[in-house]
Amino acid sequence: MKIVIATANKGKRREICGFLKGLELELLFPDAFPGFKMPPETGGTFAENALIKARAFAAFTGLATLADDSGLEVDFLGGAPGIHSARYAVIGSGTAQNHNQVVNASDDDNINRLLKELDGVPPEKRTARFRTVIALVIPGAPGTDEAKEQTFDGVLNGRITERRAGAGGFGYDPVFFIPASGLVAAELSIGEKGEISHRGMALKGLKKWLEGGGLLGPA
């Protein structure tokens, strides 16, 4: 069974492929389909944006497509950067015309803006969470509108540190402290992170659904 993993983010690819390893799936990536352009993420929630990407790629390829939309929600900032996490550093800078334009910033730039906005905020007010929604869209037979759609979500609670630590992970991992582990996400191995992370939780739901008959039949 072929599934397109509709993300260009190498960190996400590693985590998703690691979780789906061992299933009878052939995983494909956007670079195998030249000419496709990711649509603007015009949704107001992670679920809406994940579905926008999955639907577009499924329509283009005719294949089952998996898309992820994730972000960081910081309580002190009213839930920001939220759905704009990947382009947080460029929002309001003039680089992006609006919040829906697909113009991502570097991880370092995003972290720099986050730490600047939390400068002087005490630890107890730096609570945050990572949130992921994974959308799977399975096209119907040619000439029909019977596409199947499923979403799976996960949340990881923690807080934002005052400085970076760790050399692993990606995104905001170097400043996201996880109380249960006593480490920031960037200090965890891929396996350790997968067991507790927001994306790991969503992927567990996806894998259970696949193995339960969603695509692959009973394990």
Catalytic residue numbers?
69
Q: What is the pLDDT of residues 122-169, one digit of tens each?
A: 999 999 999 999 999 999 755 556 778 999 999 999 999 999 999 998
Q: Please state, for a pLDDT cut of 90, what percent of the chain lies above it.
A: 63
Which H or E run contains 153?
strand 148-160
Ranges of each domain in the chain? 2-211
> Measured between alpha carbons, how far apart are the two ends of the chain, in Å?
14
Range with the poorest average pLDDT among 3-17, 117-131, 176-190:
3-17
What is the C-alpha to C-alpha distance for residues 104 and 73, in angstroms, rounded to an integer? 17
Asked if 191 and 198 touch (Cβ cutoff 8 Å), the reply is no
Record the pTM.
0.85
Q: Which CATH number fits domain 2-211: 1.20.1600.10, 3.10.20.30, 3.30.40.10, 3.90.950.10?
A: 3.90.950.10
What is the C-alpha to C-alpha distance for residues 30 and 78, in angstroms, rounded to an integer? 34
